[in-house]
Every structure is written in structure tokens, then in C-alpha cells.
Amino acid sequence: MAQVLEFKLPDLGEGLTEAEIVRWLVEVGDVVAIDQPVVEVETAKAMVEVPCPYGGVVTARFGEEGSELPVGAPLLTVAVGATEAPASPAPSTSSASGASSAGAPAAEESSAGSGNVLVGYGTGAPAARRRRIRPERVGTPAAPAPVVEPEPVPVAVPAATGEVNGQQGPVAVVSPLVRRLARQHEIDLRRLTGSGPDGLILRADVDSAIREAEEAARAQTRTAAAEPAVAEAPTAVAAAPAAAERIPLRGVRGAVADKLSRSRSEIPDATCWVDADATELMAARAAMNAASGPSGGPKVSVLALLARICTAALARYPELNSTVDTAAREIVRLPGVHLGFAAQTERGLVVPVVRDAHTRNAESIGAEIARLTELARTGKLSPAQLIGGTFTLNNYGVFGVDGSTPIINHPEAAMLGVGRIMPKPWVHNGELAVRQVVQLSLTFDHRVCDGGTAGGFLRYVADCVEQPAVLLRTL
């Protein structure tokens, strides 16, 4: 006998409490294998595919694309051991019936599952190709089979009840997006007749009702304007103010908002900055990238060189590679440098972390930055690649700006900001010349050090930018 199992949104780790459904990878009636990805979700840190620990037939899905679910909420139900889809599959957000029975070996194999699911872990069973199980066509009557009473499953989206076209009953709306659209435009769903299957109210029905309401409002306005004015002087009718757009703070945008707000409220930060002549650094980079033969190698970016300068500066000023334990009232100096760098993506601002940057040279750091940047661009960064940073490098010069006062990436103690490198007039060797100039800014937690330490760090970074040979002391 088939057993209907409920798969709940698992704990994806790193303190995440909710996720947004981006795309369903299966439909009701599909056959899934153990550890086959069934849904793509977006958390506050990354976009991941969630594998199902059960193998069988999908009998119900909970949640529409674009909706948020808390950890532990039902995602879908699977009929384990079923050989065919339920006779009357329910919609994706409604409860599902149990499936027909199957052989004991198949049931035992499918019900084994993979236990608690964490992204990137599982039993490693190969994923079967997805296929839709369709009910058999009506033909010669078969021998009657024992009827299995359906086991009720909680409904994900409760249906509102009220008078529907003069009768009491549930409002035939499944999509929460349709309900939200109707609320925004004050459309009474109980007075609509759905054009979908079994009278289901679709978005097209709500859009049509909105257009009719707008046309009725315009007609009423024209009628009122045609009537003779009662007052001696006509009174101008004030135009209704446009409704403000409300954008939910969730996903990456919500995580950024929470972290920056916490940083501003907890960290007493200060910023110092300096202009530096980067002409020699740019020349050194050009020489590195032009080398061929045994001394040649992958191209080295300016960001990689600046990252290497940061690790050398943190070795001299370890106070800035620390964090503050507010509960214990202690400054915790960290033994290694895990260097984060700010990356702007279509999903928003993310900060991938280069692990053990203090043990890497400029070439190794550049290769890791390139790898993480590509993962960020494609939305494939894992949560583990976005946490654990001890110091952040922020290159806002790519946006064409010279300076900034960045907000510290909590719970770190400092962030170095780098503006654009551009030709400017500069006094060099006692003469006015056009040089490649960059503005550097350091925002630091004033609890971990004073201005002398912060100024010393920034000055050392500027000296390395102006005279890259200074780095030879630490290589």
C-alpha cells in the first residue's frame, strides 16, 4: 500500500529561517527519485536547489512561485511506493489523496529516503528522468481493487469563504498572487466568475475586473464634467495622488538591510582617507601581465594586487583583523585573514570570501576572486562562501566614483574602500605631472583601535600602491 509522506522545507544552514520559491522543478503527478531536486529557492544568501529525500509520485505542492515559506513548512507530498498517479490529482496547493499500493520491495527502497536534507549532501542516488504518470484510458473493466481511503493533508492556502454569486461557498482562487492583486485594487473576488477549470478565478479574470472598474470610473468622471457647474466659479478637481510602490525587503535585499542596520547600530565607526599615486602599481601590473615564458602566468587584476597589499598591512596591524564580543566585552583578534570583497550582482550586493588570503600570493588571490565572481554572477554561490570574512575590500571605483564612506560588514572591524584610478595633476619629483591617482578610504571600528593604528594601516597601503617594491619586504 502506498504511503503519502510530507517533505518540509529543510534547514539550509547558516541560521536561515525562510526561503522564497523561485521555480518548481516538478509537477503534481511526476515521479521523483531519492535526492532529486524538486524546487529552486532563494535564501538571504544564495539560490539553491532543494533535493527530496523520498522517491515516488508527487501528489501535492505547497506554495506558489514567488511566495516565502518558513523553515519546517510543507513543500510537497510524495506517495512512496505508488506505481501510478492518484485518480484525481489535486491542485498544487491543495491536499492530495493517497496512491495505490505497490510491491513491498519497491516500497522499502523508496521509503528509505536520505534523512534530513542539507544542500550539497544526500545519499548520492542517481536522479531518474522526470516523467508524468497519466491515468490509464477507459477500456475493458478491470477487476475491482480495494479502495484506499485518502489521508487528508493540510491545505497550504486556505480558501476564503463568502457569498459567491448569491450562494455561500469558498472563493475559487488558488494563487496568492491573484488574491494580492485583487486586494491592491479593491476587487471583491466573491463577485467574480472564474474562467478557469471548475470556475477557478485566474489572474486574467482579476485584470478584466480592474479594467472594467477603471472604465467605469472614467465614465463617471466624464459624466460629472458634462453637468453644469452649480457654483458661480468652477472648482478645480484635485488629481488623486499616485499610489506609492511597496517593495518587500526579503531575500538578498532583506539580508543586506538587516546586516547594515545592525552594523550602524552596534559599531562606532570612523573613516579616514588618502589620495595615492597608483602610477607605479599600474606599471608593475602591466609588466606582470606582459611577462611570458617561465615567468609568465595568468593575468593579475588590480583588485588582486590590492588584496595582497591588504593582507600585508593586516600582518602589520592585526588590530583591524578582529571582532568584538559584546557579551564578554572582549576584542577577539583572529589568527587568519579571510578576505571578503564586495560584488554587485543582479540579485544585489554579495560579499564572497577568499579563505586564508594571508597564505596566498597575488596570483592565487586573483584566481580565487575570479572563480567566486563567476559563481556570484550566475547565482551559484553557496551560503558557506558568503560567511566567515574577517576584513572586506570594497572596490567602488568600478561604478565611476572617487570616494565613499562604506559601512562595515558586521561583525568585522574594518573595510578598505578603493575609488576609481584616473589621470590627475600630481606633484611628482618636484614637478607637476599627470599621474594615475586613486582615493583610498578606511572605515574602522573605533572600539578595536584608535586613529593612530587606522592611519598607520592606511598609510602603509598607500605606500605600497605608490611604491610596490615596499611589498618585497614581506614576500
Beta strands per DSSP E along 245-321: 269-277
What CA–CA distance (Å, rounded) separates 387 from 352?
Answer: 8
Q: Which residues of 39-48 are buried (b: 16+ CB within 10 A; e: fewer)?
A: bbbbbbbbbb
Find the largest Cα–Cα distance for the chain: 103
What residue type is 75 in one-letter code? L
Active site residue 338: no
Vertex 44: Cα angle to 41 and 47 (nearest 5) = 35
Helices 302-316, 362-377: axis angle to 10 degrees equals: 120
Nearest-Å Rg of the Cα atoms of the chain is 31
Q: Which of 338, 410, 428, 446 is catalytic?
A: 446
Q: Which helix (H) or strand (E) holds 281?
A: helix 279-290
Q: DSSP per residue over 98-137, as a string?
A: PPPP--HHHHHHHHT--SS--TT-S--PPPPPPEE--PPP
Contact 455, 432 (CB under 8 A): no
Sequence-distant (6+) residues with CB within 8 A of 475 are: 361
Grid cell, residue 238, equals 484635485
What CA–CA distance (Å, rounded) separates 416 from 339?
Answer: 11
Angstrom distances, CA of residue 392 to CA of 235, 342, 363 = 60, 7, 19
Grid cell, residue 19, equals 526561503
> Which residues are marked as active site?
446
